[in-house]
């Protein structure tokens, strides 16, 4: 018996845009791992992505292991696409219980090196899209008797060093989630935020490449996280195991925020 049996989940940004790890055929990112793990826990999964091929790949991987999944093309910086992603989920699976907003991009750098166009793009893709997705999904989740939403932020919401627009949008997402969590707690909808640390995901392999050797010494646990470790935390928050948890910010970072943050190199050995 799965923890999400009988539920319908919409995973937004459920493709994986980047090269696979050496030796793997399917690229895995936070969104794709979450979609696959939701299906393994019994949910029917709609994968939404602006890239239909990537969304289709995720849905195919789920069906290949006997799960239920379909895909929809949706660029969530566009309001109509957000509405359509919800409508298509209902048309295909009859209801909506769970929403994961995983879309996030990293454009721009410091205050003086980020253009206004870059900042506007970041606002549309990293923040407004989550507002829109929740705006369209929430009434349907309530109609289905309640459910849960997880928004994917980052430790960049609380630590500097990743670029001003990324940090600002990821921080604003905490407020967005908290607001919906409190306002809709009595509608039986839980809303939580995940703050991943340094994860070896498709996004990172695309943007940065293999950074394991460079960043591992800065992480108290001595390694990057995997997308599966993010997916497990998301599935927990979506499931009834988290039935009394709403409005929280769950950090999944191998100890980065408890330690020295992302910028400084650890100077202590494990016995130091
Ligand atoms: N990897 C890390 O170290 C790390 C750390 C903290 C937070 N995160 C967060 O994790 C999330 C991404 O993780 P991932 O591994 O799944 O990355 P990814 O880039 O591989 O996957 C995200 C998917 O979103 C899709 N997408 C991008 N823009 C879209 C749009 N406008 N509309 C619809 N789909 C769109 C992409 O096509 C892609 O398939 C982001 O929110 C990111 O900020 C990652």
| β partners of residue 49 | 73
Q: Given pLDDT bands bounded at 50, 70 and 90, which one contains residue 264? A: low
CB of 30 within 6 A of ligand 1: the answer is: yes
Residue 84 has pLDDT above 50, yes or no: yes
For the domain bounded by 8-252, which CATH number is listed? 3.40.50.720
Q: Which atom of ligand 1 is nearest to the CA of 106?
A: 43
Pocket test for ligand 1, best of 11, 12, 17 (most atoms within 8 A of CB): 17
If you average pLDDT over every residue of the chain, what do you get? 95
How much distance in Å is there from the Cα of 102 to the middle of ligand 1? 6
CB-based contacts of 9, cutoff 8 Å, min separation 6:
35, 38, 43, 44, 45, 46, 97, 98, 99, 100, 238
User: Order of strands across the sheet with 8-12?
Assistant: 69-73, 44-49, 8-12, 98-101, 147-152, 189-196, 249-252
* C-alpha distances in Å from residue 163, one per residue of 42, 84, 105, 121: 38, 32, 11, 14
167 ligand 1 Cβ < 6 A: no
CA-proximal residue: ligand 1, atom 18 (nearest): 203
> Could you identify the residue written with the tokens 């989740």?
141
- Cα 56–37–175 angle (5° rounding)? 95
- For residues 43-66, average pLDDT: 98
Is 123 an active-site residue? no
Rounded CA separation 171/270 (Å): 32
What are residue 73's DSSP bridge partners?
49
Q: What are the residue ranges spanned by the domains of the chain?
A: 8-252
Of 123, 136, 166, 244, the catalytic one is 166
Q: Is 49 in the pocket of ligand 1 (CB under 6 A)?
A: yes
Determine the Cα–Cα distance for residues 152 and 130; give it in Å rounded to an integer.
Answer: 10
Q: Does any ligand 1 atom lie closer than 6 A to the CB of residue 193?
A: no
The CA–CA distances, whole Å, from 233 to 108, 123, 193 equal: 29, 26, 10
Q: How confident is the model at residue 261 (pLDDT cuts 50, 70, 90)?
A: confident
Distance in Å, CA 1 to ligand 1 centroid: 30
Residue 164 CB coordination number (10 Å)? 18
Residue nearest to atom 7 of ligand 1 (CA): 154
pLDDT at residue 259 tops 50: yes
Alpha-carbon distances, residue 253 vs 13, 39, 227 (angstroms): 21, 24, 11
């Amino acid at each position: 018996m799965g923890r999400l049996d009988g539920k319908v989940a919409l995973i937004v940004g459920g493709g994986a845009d980047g090269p696979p790890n050496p030796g793997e055929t399917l690229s895995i990112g936070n969104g794709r791992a979450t979609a696959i793990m939701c299906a393994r826990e019994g949910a029917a999964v709609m994968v939404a992505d602006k890239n239909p091929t990537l969304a289709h790949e995720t849905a195919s991987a789920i069906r290949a292991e006997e799960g239920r999944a379909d895909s929809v093309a949706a660029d969530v910086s566009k309001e109509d696409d957000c509405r359509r992603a919800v409508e298509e989920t209902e048309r295909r699976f009859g209801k909506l219980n769970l929403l994961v907003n995983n879309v996030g991009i990293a454009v721009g750098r410091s205050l003086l090196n980020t253009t206004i166009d870059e900042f506007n793009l970041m606002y549309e893709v990293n923040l407004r899209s989550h507002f829109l997705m929740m705006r369209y999904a929430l009434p349907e989740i309530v109609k289905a008797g309640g459910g849960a939403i997880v928004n994917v932020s980052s430790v960049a919401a609380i630590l500097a060093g990743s670029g001003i627009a990324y940090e600002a949008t990821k921080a604003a997402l905490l407020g967005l989630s908290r607001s919906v969590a409190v306002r809709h707690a009595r509608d039986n909808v839980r809303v939580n935020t995940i703050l991943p640390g340094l994860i070896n995901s498709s996004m990172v392999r695309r943007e940065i490449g293999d950074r394991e050797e460079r960043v591992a010494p800065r992480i108290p646990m001595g390694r990057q996280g995997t997308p599966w470790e993010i997916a497990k935390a998301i599935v927990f928050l979506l499931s009834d195991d988290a039935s009394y948890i709403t409005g929280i910010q769950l950090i999944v970072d191998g100890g980065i925020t408890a330690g020295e943050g992302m910028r400084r190199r650890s100077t202590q050995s494990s016995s130091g």
